[in-house]
Amino acid sequence: MKTDMEQTHYEGDELKQDPGTAVPDITEMDQRILSEIVCVQITPEEMHKIIMPVKQQPHQKTVLAVHWHPEYIPMELIKKRIENTFPNKEQELIIPTQHNELLTYDDQYHGAEIDCYSRGFQRKVQLLLHCRLEDPDRAGVLRSMLNHTYEYRSSQLFELLDTFMDPKWEDYLQLAAEGTGVGEEVVHFARVQTYKLYRLLQEHKNSISRDFLKNKLLRDFIDGQRHLYPDQFINRVQVFVKSVKKIVKANFSLEYFYRTSEVIEEARSLGCGIVVPHPEQFWPILLCDYDIDGYEVWNPQSREYTEFLVNVINRQNKSRSRSQRPLLVFMGDDAHMGEKIKDPTKIEAAKYYREIGVQPAWDDLTIKKSLIIGNFDRRKVMNEYKTRLDG
């Protein structure tokens, strides 16, 4: 166990070279760390964690859940968790929205969350797509669009790794180092771990599920070193890596995403319902005249402006013509099921405690008046949206 900060240096390693010659040999421990991170096998103990919620909701009769991510957790286990969470439910509309992948919960409704690009205000936006596919083969074009977006979004991981490995991005690293106040030992360590991860990915590229090819893979790989280095040091490395990631994301080209209007057009051709999640993260979309069914006004990471968003939708509905269907209000739990089986020391509490279908804002007295004015509640929205999807 290393306790001296000086021991975090890899003496004599010149990192600004080809990854194959720049770092010490990959150790069995490195192999084990990556293997644990990308493992999709579920132990009996993990299975119990999945099917048993932290808290039951015995009084909730209606379950509306149209924004959540199964990740690599089997759907049959997720179903058991939902049954245990809502033992007295009477009605439900439950549709998974995996990032850029079309999935189904009940073989009736399919869903996905897709990244796209709105040129009008030059921002990446996301859409929740929900549809009833009697003939899944009809969705060939949409699946191709989703797959293209999935592959392109995954490339952001390799842009992040390249930023650490290619000397031409040195300015980015220096900018992040200055902004976070870290020293050369932190920058050096982050580079070493990046090179190791890159080599491991090349070695195991045919056996790692693409679900894990995300920016957080580097974060998790570095976290796997905590048994060798002081927590304080690893925390500083993570702050630095997060800063670099923000710079990379800010410079990540959005031109290769499909345009928002193109996604909406294809989705509507299949009879999809379309909901805008996280609208507070890209305000201009509230002003766009997109053909959508509604906005998500609350989820665990977007809840500061819930009442305001409900009032915006109420005003927009008053100005819509009789031939236009009213915009609907949605709440998104944004649950990530892979968080449920993580090591307790590595979980993100903000994500760990999210539950499919648990959206307390529906019953929040501070926004209840705005919901009543718009004639919105969980059951009414669910029934109306079901009618649209079934139409």
Which residues, in sequence order, are CB contacts of 289 under 8 Å at separation 6+?
Answer: none
H/E stretch holding 36 reads helix 28-37
Give the count of beta carbons closer than 10 Å to the beta carbon of residue 56: 14
* Mean pLDDT, residues 249-255: 86
pTM to 2 decimal places: 0.87
CA distances 196 to 50, 52, 171, 253, 320, Å, are 32, 37, 22, 26, 56
36: nearest Cα among 187, 170, 300, 212: 212
Asked whether 264 and 282 are in contact (CB, 8 A), the reply is: no
Report the alpha-carbon distance of residue 91 to residue 359 in Å, rounded.
15
Asked whether 263 and 146 are in contact (CB, 8 A), the reply is: no
Q: Can you give the pLDDT at residue 248?
A: 92
Report the alpha-carbon distance of residue 190 to residue 181 in Å, rounded.
14
Q: Can you give the pLDDT at residue 90?
A: 97
Q: Can you give the pLDDT at residue 122?
A: 84
Report the alpha-carbon distance of residue 279 to residue 299 in Å, rounded.
10
Q: Can you give the pLDDT at residue 7?
A: 35
Helix ranges, 224-331 (H): 231-250, 260-269, 306-319
* Mean pLDDT, residues 305-315: 94
% of the chain surpassing 90 pLDDT: 70
pLDDT tier at 350, thresholds 50, 70, 90: confident
- N residues, the chain: 391
More confident residue, 201 or 303: 201
The tokens describing 359, both together, are 């959206």
Q: What does the pLDDT look like over 92-135, one tens digit per residue?
A: 999 999 999 999 999 999 999 999 999 888 888 999 999 998 77
